[in-house]
Amino acid sequence: MANKHTQIDTLVEEHADQDRRNRKENAEPKDTPSGSSTDNVFERYINLVAIVNFGFTLQAGWETVGLTLQYVLFNGGPASLVYGSILAGIGSTAIATSLGEMASIDPTVGAQYRWSARFAQGRPEFWGLMQGWVTVFAWIFNVGASLSILANTVQGFIIFHNPNYEPKGWHSTLLMYAFIVVPVLANLVLRRTLNTLETIGGIFHVLFFITVITVLSVTAKRSTTAFVFQTLTHNVSGWNNPGVAWCLGLLTTVFPITSFDGVLHMIDETKEPRKRVPKSMITSVALNALMQFGYGICVMFCLGDYESVAASGLPLIEIYYQATQSRAGATTLVLMHVIVFVISLFNIFASVSRLVWAFARDNGLPFSKTFTYVHPTLQIPIPALLLVAFICALLALINIGSTVAFTALVSLPTVSLYVSYFIPILLLTLRKLRGMHPKYGPFKLGRWGLPINVFSLVYIVFVLIWIPFPPGRPVTAQTMNYAAPLFIAVVILALVDWVISGKTRFKVPTTAIDVPEGDEENEDGTPL
C-alpha cells in the first residue's frame, strides 16, 4: 500500500513539474507590453497590512452579528449568542489554523480544490473537481448572503421610518440587484487603491466598534446578568427543545466568521504569501471572534424590551433606538454596520472572482477559456467577476418565491464553506495518520497539527448538523430552509459535469510549488 501511495505521489509530482515547465515556457517575457492578451499573471502588490485588513474586514464579524440578530432572538437567545460566540471563535480559529498550514505548504489561488487534489490518496482529478465546484459555489453563495443581508437591512430602515411600508419579496430582489452593481464597479476601478482601502476598512471596523459599544454603554438601560448569561430562548420558533434551540441560534455566531479563506484567493497578488496569508487568516478570525463576543455581550446587556426588539423588521435598529431615543442616532449606528459590510462585500467579490478565474484556468468550468481572461491594464478577471454577478442575480430571484429566502441564503454559504473546509483537512489528516507528511512551509503546526486538524473536523461536522435546520416549526414548503437541497443540487451538478466531460477536461493542479519571490527558505526555515 505504501508503494502505491508513493507511485501516486510521484506521478502527481511529475505532472506538476511538467505543468510548471509549461507555464515558464508560456510565460510572457519581461519586455512584453502590458497590453498583451497573454498577460494573465497578477501583479503582487498587496502588502502585509492590507492582506491582514482584507481578511479582517471581509468577515465583518460584529457588524454581521448585529445585522442577523433575528436568528438568535428566535432560537437560543442570549445564551446562544454569548456561549455560541465562544464556540464559533475557537472552532473557526482552529479551521483557519489548519488551512493556514496548507497555505504555507502550497500558496495557491485555488486553495481548497488544489489541496484536495494534492492530498488525495487516489483519483486526484475527481477530488479536485468536486472540491472546486463546492468551493466556487460556496463563495458565490456567500456573495448572495451578503447581498441579502444588505437588502434586508434597507427594508428594515424603510419600515423603521415608514411603518406603513409592506415589504415584498421582489423588493428584496431589486435591492440585491442594486447592491450587486456597487462592488462590481468598485472592483473595476479601485484595485490600485486596495492597500489604502483595506487600511481604511480596518480602521472603520475597530473605530465603529468602539463607538457603538460606548454609545450603548452610556445610553441604554441595563439587562440583568442572569438574563445575559442564563436565558435560553426555546419557546418562540416552535423548536421547544432547549438544546435544539441553542444550536439553531448558532447561525448568528457561526456565519460572520466563516469566510477567513477569502485571503487565499488573493495569494497571487500578495507579497510573501507563504508567510503572510496564514498570519492574516488566523489574526482576522481571532480578532473578529473577540470583537463578536464582546459585541454580543454588550448588545444583550443593552437589549431593551425583548418583545419589541424581536418583533421589529430590523431588531438592531430597535435596540439602538431604545438606547438613544433618537431615530437619527439609531440610523447612524446601523449605518456604521452597513459601511463596513459594503467594504466586506467588495472584498468578497474580489476574492470569489479570483477563485472562479483559477478554477477556469485549470479547466474546472465548462467554457473555461472564457473566464481565464484578465484585463491587462485593470488586472481584473472581468468575465469571472461578471459570472459571479450573474449567478447572484439568479439567486436573488429566490426572494420572490420564498418567505424564508433570507434564512436559506445565509445558511447556504455556511454549509457550503464548511464542507469546502472539511474535505482538504480530512485528506491531509489521513495522510498525517499514515505518516505521509507533506513538505511543510514556514508556518507549520508540528505536534499540534493532528489535534487541531481533528478538532476542526469534529467542529465542522457539529455545525453542519444544525445550520440546515428550518428556523421554525411547523415546517412547510414556504418555511423550509432550502440550504441543504440547494447544496445537494451543486454536488449533483458537479457529478454530472465529471461524467460528461470533467474527467477528461480538468487538469490536476497539484504539487510542484512555485515559491514566490521573497518566500524562499533554507532547509532550517530561515529566509534565503
pLDDT tens digits for 380-418? 888 888 999 998 888 888 777 665 666 677 788 888 889
* DSSP SS3 for 476: coil
Q: If you average pLDDT over residues 139-165, what whole number do you get? A: 87
User: What does the alpha-carbon distance between residue 388 and residue 392 come to, in Å, rounded to a whole number?
Assistant: 6
Q: Is the pLDDT of residue 258 over 80?
A: yes
* Helix, strand, coil % in the chain, rounded to nearest 5: 70, 0, 25
Q: What percent of the chain has pLDDT over 90?
A: 23
* pLDDT of amino acid 251: 84
Q: Is the pLDDT of residue 465 over 50?
A: yes
pLDDT digits (tens, 9 = 90+) for 72-99: 888 888 999 999 999 999 999 999 999 9
User: What does the alpha-carbon distance between residue 246 and residue 239 come to, in Å, rounded to a whole number?
Assistant: 10
* pLDDT of amino acid 510: 52
Q: Is the pLDDT of residue 453 over 50?
A: yes
Residue type, 60: A
Cβ within 8 Å of residue 279, ≥6 positions away? 48, 52, 100, 443
Confidence of residue 509 (pLDDT cuts 50, 70, 90): low
Q: What percent of the chain has pLDDT over 70?
A: 84
Cβ within 8 Å of residue 303, ≥6 positions away? 78, 223, 227, 309, 319
Q: Across all residues in the chain, what is the average pLDDT?
A: 81
pLDDT digits (tens, 9 = 90+) for 202-229: 889 899 999 999 999 999 888 899 999 9
How many helices, marked H, and strands, marked E, lie in the chain?
Answer: 22, 0
When mean pLDDT is compared over 317-331, 372-386, 430-444, 473-487, the highest value belongs to 317-331
* pLDDT of amino acid 409: 72
- The three three-digit cell numbers of residue 502, written as one number: 470533467
* pLDDT of amino acid 192: 67
* pLDDT of amino acid 524: 42
* pLDDT of amino acid 146: 86
User: What residues form DSSP beta bridges with 527?
Assistant: 521
- The three three-digit cell numbers of residue 370, written as one number: 472564457
- The three three-digit cell numbers of residue 80, written as one number: 446562544
Dihedral sign (CA 169, 173, 174, 176): positive
What's the CA dihedral at 488, 493, 495, 498 to 10 degrees?
-160
Distances (CA, A) of 224 to 213, 230, 233: 17, 10, 15
* pLDDT of amino acid 3: 47
Q: Is the pLDDT of residue 31 over 90?
A: no
User: What does the alpha-carbon distance between residue 127 and residue 372 come to, in Å, rounded to a whole number?
Assistant: 22
User: What does the alpha-carbon distance between residue 58 and residue 344 come to, in Å, rounded to a whole number?
Assistant: 4
* pLDDT of amino acid 358: 86
Cβ atoms < 10 Å from Cβ of 314: 24
Q: If you average pLDDT over residues 494-506, what whole number do you get? A: 89
Distances (CA, A) of 300 to 217, 319, 456, 514: 11, 10, 29, 49
- The three three-digit cell numbers of residue 394, written as one number: 439568479
Question: Which class does domain 52-505 fall in?
Answer: mainly alpha
pLDDT digits (tens, 9 = 90+) for 297-349: 999 999 888 888 888 878 899 999 999 999 999 999 999 999 988 888 888 88
* pLDDT of amino acid 42: 63
pLDDT digits (tens, 9 = 90+) for 264-299: 877 777 777 788 888 888 888 999 999 999 999 999
CB distance 474 to 421 below 8 Å: no
Confidence of residue 41 (pLDDT cuts 50, 70, 90): low
Q: Is the pLDDT of residue 184 over 90?
A: no
* pLDDT of amino acid 302: 92
User: What does the alpha-carbon distance between residue 15 and residue 508 come to, in Å, rounded to a whole number?
Assistant: 8
Cell 492597500 found at: 195
CB distance 485 to 107 below 8 Å: no
When mean pLDDT is compared over 29-38, 227-236, 287-296, 374-383, the highest value belongs to 287-296
CB distance 104 to 280 below 8 Å: no
CB distance 73 to 315 below 8 Å: yes
Query: Residue ranges of the domains in the chain?
Result: 52-505
- The three three-digit cell numbers of residue 240, written as one number: 421547544
Q: Is the pLDDT of residue 245 over 80?
A: yes
* pLDDT of amino acid 46: 67
Q: Is the pLDDT of residue 425 over 80?
A: yes
* pLDDT of amino acid 36: 30
* DSSP SS3 for 521: strand
CB distance 361 to 348 below 8 Å: no
